[in-house]
Amino acid sequence: MTTQKWQTIWITGASTGIGRELAVQLAATGARVAVSARSSDKLDKLAEKHANLHAFVLDVSNADSVAKTCRDIEANLGPIDLVIFNAGISATSTTAKPAAELYRNIIETNYLGVTNGLAAIVPKMIERGHGHISWVASLAGYNGLPGAGAYNASKAALFSLAESSRLELAPKGIDLTIINPGFVRTHMTEKNRFPMPFMVEPEKAAQIIIRGLRKKSYEITFPWQIAWFAKFLRLMPYPVFFWIVRHGLMRGRQKNQKQ
């Protein structure tokens, strides 16, 4: 990629996985890229790879810190044209043995981490009359699946937020994109003990995302096989949906775990 569309970009959750690869590829276009994550060591190593990468340590669950980081980025790098809220965590959960702390941690990072970012950046973009906001949700947000209730719920919340925000921000000159990946080879998916079909490498995932952002797409989904299956399940009547999950997905996971 040689064309430059954005001058200043902010990416959260940028120390590993999709966020890291997005930062590297976007910095190569000539844009100034602010990378945020909780790990200062990983950010510093990432920033060393390219002169256009700038590290800002941040815990997205802290609203005051998010607001300060946003101010610091603009003071040092200029007005943010594009923000990618990518920070996220995952964990196995079961309502049969609920753990309130686990649910809270996931919501505070995956959902409130985005809303904290919106509170910081939206007023600035409205004042300027332009900007592009995006966040990484997941195809998992389309369906509630056993063992992933906390994670899936946090991503489903981002779906509804995106639908509302798109319509509210468009008249202000602000574009909004929701990014819904399937399985991407990252440290989050490494711990999964079930089949993950159509796995995408982070380099390819970043390429797909950047291409969609340049087109100002509302939704970016990949791989198409998982995307269509998730949307198909969403359209099914609940008796059919529960039957497919119980007799297909759940049995497949249980069989794999026994092997």
**Tokens 């399937």 found at:** 182
- Which strands sit side by side in the sheet containing 131-136, from one edge to the other? 53-57, 32-37, 8-12, 82-85, 131-136, 174-181, 219-222
**Is there a contact between 89 and 139 (Cβ–Cβ < 8 Å)?**
no
Q: What are the phi and psi torsion angles at 44 (to 5°)? A: -60, -40
Which is catalytic among the residues 111, 151, 218, 238?
A: 151
Return the exposure string of 23-32: e unless at least 16 CB atoms fall within 10 Å of the residue's CB, then b.
Answer: bbbbbebebb
Structure tokens, 197:
């079909």
For residues 139 and 199, the answer to whether their CB atoms sit within 8 Å is no
Cβ contact 183:200 at 8 Å: yes
Residue 103 annotated as catalytic = no
| Secondary structure tally for the chain: helices H, strands E | 11, 7
Active site residues: 151
